[in-house]
Amino acid sequence: MLLPGDGIGPEVVRQARRVLEAVGARHQLDLRFTEGDIGGVAIDRSGEAYPAATRALANEADAILLGAVGGPQWDGLPAQDRPERGLLAIRADLDLFCNLRPALLFPDLIGASSLRAELVSGLDVLIVRELTGGVYFGEPRGVVTRDDGVREGFNTDRYDEVEIRRIGRLAFEAAQKRNGRLCSVDKANVLEVTMLWREVMQELSSEYPDVSLSHMYVDNAAMQLVREPKQFDVLVTGNLFGDILSDIAAMLTGSIGMLPSASLNAQNTGLYEPVHGSAPDIAGLDCANPLATMLSAAMLLRFSLDAPEAANDVERAVAAVLLKGFRTADIAERQSSATVVGTQAMGDAVIAALTD
């Protein structure tokens, strides 16, 4: 299912769909697409950010590719009516508790990173973010005017041990398949909820003797990510910290326009989306980078459609176009000999590279 959403969402999803069709034909995959509204476009058309029609299709789909939600025209809406609530609603509805955000540096983009080449060359970090709990969903929440007339806003950060254990297990398993190092990020020096988080991660570690578990406070983790990011293999953390750390990690790879993500439930039905947002300032200008959405489509092929070879082909094609020097504006380095192309032309280049 395709959920193009707002801003640059439709244009990057369009290119990712073309890539899926091309790779699907090569691998004889029987891909059928449905499409729905989510976010601001859904609010405009039906008054709801996650309408019932979208919900019905999403519950039928084997996998979902989403563009982005949000934009300035909906910024004035009350919190519970904003486009972002559509994204939170579909995450909750499908129980997509496990968000995988790999930060992988393509060698040809090393100059686009915000850090010096030696700090990021070969960077390959996986952030495992809990996605359906924590302060994003905790109740009570709201803004009230107290009896003394003063307005007060509040949210609740909560996790039970079942929620912590299920994301913890997936993170340990991911570390087993990689370099065997897992760093759990918390704020256990201040927040009780993350004291429990740390305790449960520690308990789990006895079941995974082949993984070395460490713990780090989130403020230090943010610093370490920009100081020495290659010390990390897999990071596991709660919803809010994962939101923040994954944006930092994204920038290390050259552009947030390069980062895919997968949000999975226990059945491996997944929602796949680029980490970047709707970028309303460049929407419709054919200059957005569609590569993160294509790499999200590769994750979709791998995790939800059990088509690892097709996934590898897409990732190889993306690497190939970068090697050939194709760049969208966000990853073009100044004074380089790169060919700066638009969204559509980048799609053409990736499709051509699939058949090379």
- List the catalytic residues: 136, 187, 219, 243, 247
Pick 176 or 265: Cβ nearer ligand IPM:
265
Binding partner selected for residue 87 from ligand IPM, Mg ion, none, CB under the kind-specific 5 to 8 Å limit: ligand IPM
Which of 53-68 are b and which e, b meaning 16 or more Cβ less than 10 Å from the residue's Cβ?
Answer: ebbebbeebebbbbbb
Q: State in angstroms the smallest separation of the CB of 126 from ligand IPM.
A: 15
Q: State in angstroms the smallest separation of the CB of 15 from ligand IPM.
A: 20
Binding partner selected for residue 257 from Mg ion, ligand IPM, none, CB under the kind-specific 5 to 8 Å limit: none
Count of residues touching ligand IPM (by CB under 6 A): 4
Q: Supply angle C-alpha 153, 41, 23, rounded to 5.
A: 115
Helices 9-26 and 291-303, axial angle in degrees (round to 10): 50
Q: Which of 235, 234, 158, 148 is nearest to 195 (CA)?
A: 158
Alpha-carbon distance 231 to 124, whole Å? 10
Taken in order 215, 219, 222, 228, the sign of the CA dihedral is negative
Pick 193 or 349: Cβ nearer ligand IPM:
193
Burial of residue 292 (number of CB atoms within 10 Å: 0-12, 13-18, 19+):
buried
Tokens of 73: 């025209």
Q: Is 182 one of the binding residues for ligand IPM (CB under 6 A)?
A: no
Binding partner selected for residue 286 from ligand IPM, Mg ion, none, CB under the kind-specific 5 to 8 Å limit: none
Q: Is 87 one of the binding residues for ligand IPM (CB under 6 A)?
A: yes
Q: State in angstroms the smallest separation of the CB of 21 from ligand IPM.
A: 26
Helical ranges in 188-229 per DSSP H: 192-205, 218-227
Alpha-carbon distance 229 to 178, whole Å? 16
Q: Is 338 one of the binding residues for ligand IPM (CB under 6 A)?
A: no
Pick 6 or 243: Cβ nearer Mg ion:
243
Q: Give residues with Cβ within 8 angstroms of 249, minimum separation 6.
A: 101, 103, 125, 127, 225, 229, 259
Per-residue x/- mask for ligand IPM, residues 42 to 81, rule CB under 6 A? ----------------------------x-----------
Binding partner selected for residue 84 from Mg ion, ligand IPM, none, CB under the kind-specific 5 to 8 Å limit: ligand IPM
Q: Contact positions toward Mg ion, by CB under 5 A?
A: 243
Q: State in angstroms the smallest separation of the CB of 226 from Mg ion.
A: 17
Among 62, 84, 95, 173, binds ligand IPM (CB under 6 A): 84
Provide the residue type at 232 as one letter: F
User: Considering only residues 238-277, where is the footprint of ligand IPM by CB under 6 A?
Assistant: 243
By the criterion CB under 6 A, which residues form the site for ligand IPM? 70, 84, 87, 243
